[in-house]
Amino acid sequence: MHNLKLFITGHKGFETPLLHELRAILKPTDAVLRKVYGGVEVDATISAVYLVCLHSRLANRVFCELAQAVAASESQLYEAVYQVEWEKHLQPRNSIAVSATVSRSKLDHGHFVALKTKDAIVDRMRNVCGSRPSVEKKQPDIRIHVHLHQNRASISLDLSGESLHRRGYRTRHAGAPLKEHLAAALLSQAGWNHERSKHLRLLDPMCGSGTFVIEAAMIAANIAPGLKREYFGFDQWLQHDADLWQQHLQQARRQVQKDSEVVIYASDYDINALETARDNAERAGVAQIIEFSQQQIAELELPPSTTETLVICNPPYGRRLQSEAGLDQLYRDLGDAVRRLEPARLAIISANPDLLHHLKLKRLSRKDVRNGPLDCLFAQFETVAEAADRARISSEDANIDETALPLRNRLEKNARHLQRWARRNDVSCYRLYDADLPEFSFALDRYQSEIAPEQAWFHLQEYQAPATVDADLAARRIDLAARVVCELFGISSEQLFCKTRSRQRGSEQYRKQAHRGEYFQVREGAASLLINLSDYLDSGLFLDHRITRQRVYQAARGKDLLNLFCYTGTVGVQAGLGGACSVMNVDLSQTYLEWARQNHRLNGLDDEERYRFLRADIVELLKKPARYPLKTNYDLIFFDPPSFSNSSKMQQTLDIQRDHTVMIRQAMSLLAADGLLLFSTNRRGFRLDEEISREFDARDISRATIPEDFKRNPKIHRCWEIRHAHA
């Protein structure tokens, strides 16, 4: 048969592993493969269809394209579908189902496109063959799919029939299981394959319905995932070669290794889930490879072994941090269990990345994964941390471009000085570099884990290059800088988070960069704080205000604090730990207020009578404070507004140079007679209005609040202590 144009889809984000798997399944001489967005294009014969449907663990659909055409209107779509010679693919007695996906097209409703496609097929079959096929949605003889993108239609047969993740063994499930092809993709990502299964033990301590362990056992026993399926989309296709299909089936059955000596462990606290998993394993033909046991994570045990153990699991989730009682303890118990199994690695898919720090393990890698409606993180950890002072790679061995040597030398010099300073002053999070060299315009911060002090993360924030600098050149320099940072500090790319910092206007300063929801726990003075290095431009902890926060801590005992533009509540936390009677944290962002709550709870400041959180437009609040639950005589006010904001949630724009005089006066009306207002701004070129200096006792403390690690950039912020003039 002539070559077919196939499109193989898999789980989003796993196109590269799918490509590698298909290369292993299909002979390179018989198929041409191209990775594209959403899957892999394959030019091959019908044999490739059978091999993919039978052997691919990562694919979920096999589309065979019949035609492409412009379809910017209803009539164009109808005509394009009608022109396909459907009589060569199906018979009038067959049942059909039609689906459609649409994007960026004039015909923008998938159900309508599917309906018009069905009409064209039915009309052609009636006109050519004298009768029409029926419609059957559940298990039709023939499935047709139309993908309409930018007014161009791709008309295909779905030869998989239904998603290939339906292996046929899972008739029961416990909870919300992973789809089989996603479980197989994660196992592959974790390094589990047929060869390595001979040298690794595998354990799922929260096995649920058994998807991970069953997929792992099928890989170890070389059982083709399609062997148990009873329905494919090509069964009634007129071009189906039944003899060739049977040959592939027989070959797949001969390749099964039923005498596999691999032992896979599955445990769960729920006896009903274990029963379900056993039944599923029996149907998959791998029950003899898996040992099931009922165990709590905190008491988890396996037989002693010197073989490395791969622990893989999908824990229960809470939609918000600590929203399910005991979930943080579950992660702690899991980390302890993995350490008891040393040597061991943990691979975990989590809808609560903010809880991963409770594992107290060294992270090796991370990957964003979509599991149904949830944004998750698939992370891998190891039990044995690498040596703290890992040998540095020399510039010659690193093969670094000579243009990067000045950067490497500067980073090395800064690091030597700042590491000594940080140890002496008990500082664990600090800035290493801030555009010291004009050609490498970025800031680099180092954050040390409080949970696992041997682990650190690096945050590289690129300053947007001016229009006079070639964009490609700027991008190459940042790529080079990232490589230098990884090599110099002996870290993996997973420990380096890169951002581009441009001038932020209005709501842009709060816009998400990603959606991982991954929080790390760090320490500053007496406070434990949560940072997020992936989702926002800033980490949640402004390092240049370290000294300012320390001043609040020292001044807070017995005081009432009003924390305006509180951000993630770090100033409120320091005040609470310093003995403040009460703290009122105010911000317009619900996201940051929730983050501030978590920071307070993390430090035991969970008395919401004393530590309060108010969502409000602070410009309006200062104008009409009587409308809000505020005191009229705060002992301390911390006031650190953005330089500019035109958020749609605000009733008017904020320009701190223009508005600070009025806002400081308004804030001072809430300050006790002997109170202190700390005013700070990062606005470049900011000048404090002389009227403020005349009306109040305003003392510039900017120089005294610039930490050692920011002395190369002393204009990072300006800061004043402001008191009533008579105090």
Taken in order of first residue, the domains within the chain and their CATH numbers are: 4-158 (3.30.2130.30), 180-222+257-382 (3.40.50.150), 395-502 (3.30.750.80), 530-724 (3.40.50.150)
Q: How far is CA 649 from CA 69, 525, 615, 659, 663, in A?
A: 45, 34, 11, 18, 18
Token couple for 38: 């959403």
Nearest CA to 723 out of 643, 681, 664 is that of 664
pTM above 0.85, yes or no: no
Higher local confidence (pLDDT), 505 or 190: 190
Which parts of 394-509 fold into alpha helices (H)?
395-398, 405-424, 471-489
* Whether residue 396 has pLDDT greater than 50: no
pLDDT at 466: 62
Q: Looking at the predicted structure, is the pLDDT value of residue 394 above 50? A: no
Check whether 721 has a pLDDT greater than 60. yes
pLDDT band of 535, cuts 50, 70, 90: confident
Which amino acid does the sequence have at 169? Y
Distance CA(531)–CA(134), nearest Å, equals: 58
**Res. 505: pLDDT tops 50:** no
Token reading at 1: 């048969």
Quick check: 603 pLDDT over 90?
yes
Give the single-character DSSP code of 671: E
pLDDT score of 508: 42
Band (pLDDT 50/70/90 cuts) for residue 515 is low
Under 8 Å CB-to-CB from 161, ≥6 apart: which residues? 139, 143, 231, 232, 233, 234, 235
Q: Is 506 helix (H, G, I), strand (E, B) or coil?
A: helix
For helices 405-424 and 471-489, the axis angle rounded to 10 degrees is 50
Give 403 or 117, the one with higher predicted confidence.
Answer: 117
* pLDDT average, residue stretch 178-185: 95
What average pLDDT does this structure show over 96-102? 96
Beta carbons within 8 Å of 169's beta carbon, 6+ residues apart = 214, 228, 280, 281, 283, 284
Peptide bond into 205 cis (omega under 30): no
The mean pLDDT value of the chain amounts to 89
68 CB-contact burial (10 Å; exposed 0-12 / middle 13-18 / buried 19+): middle
For the residues 575-601, what does the mean pLDDT come to?
95
| Tokens 């000579």, residue located | 402
> What pLDDT does 682 receive?
93
What is the spatial distance between Cα 48 and Cα 52, in angstroms, rounded to a whole number?
Answer: 6
**Beta-strand pair 142-149/39-44:** unpaired
Residues in contact with 370: Cβ distance below 8 Å, sequence separation at least 6, in sequence order: 11, 12, 13, 376
Minimum mean pLDDT among 14-18, 265-269, 317-321, 471-475: which range?
317-321
Mean pLDDT of 434-453: 90
pLDDT of residue 345: 93
Rounded average pLDDT over 128-134: 96
Residue 373, pLDDT score: 86
The answer, yes or no, to whether residue 87 has pLDDT greater than 60, is yes
pLDDT tier at 471, thresholds 50, 70, 90: low
134 pLDDT more than 70: yes
Spatial neighbors of 61 by CB under 8 A, at least 6 apart, are 7, 8, 9, 39, 158, 160, 163, 164
Amino acid 305: pLDDT: 86
* Helix/strand/coil for 441: coil
CA 723, distance to chain mean position in Å, is: 45
Q: Which of 163-172, 234-243, 283-292, 613-622 has the lowest mean pLDDT?
A: 163-172
Which of the four pLDDT bands, split at 50, 70 and 90, describes residue 400? low
Band of pLDDT at residue 385, cut at 50, 70 and 90: very low
Q: What pLDDT is recorded for position 398?
A: 41
Q: Are 642 and 566 in contact (CB under 8 A)?
A: no
Total residue length of the chain: 727
Of 123-127, 173-177, 365-369, which range is least confident? 173-177
Cβ contact 293:316 at 8 Å: no
Whether residue 78 is predicted with pLDDT greater than 60 in this model: the reply is yes
Q: Report the distance separating Cα 331 and Cα 337, nearest Å.
A: 10
> Can you tell me whether residue 490 is helix, strand or coil?
coil
Between CA 640 and CA 620 the distance in angstroms is: 16
* Residue 648: how many other CB atoms lie within 10 Å: 6
pLDDT at 76 over 80: yes
Q: Which contacts (CB < 8 Å, 24+ apart) does range 392-400 have? A: 392/487, 392/488, 392/490, 393/487, 393/488, 393/490, 398/487, 400/480, 400/483, 400/484, 400/487
Q: Please give the average per-residue pLDDT across 206-230, as a whole number.
A: 95
Residue labelled with tokens 């320091």: 574
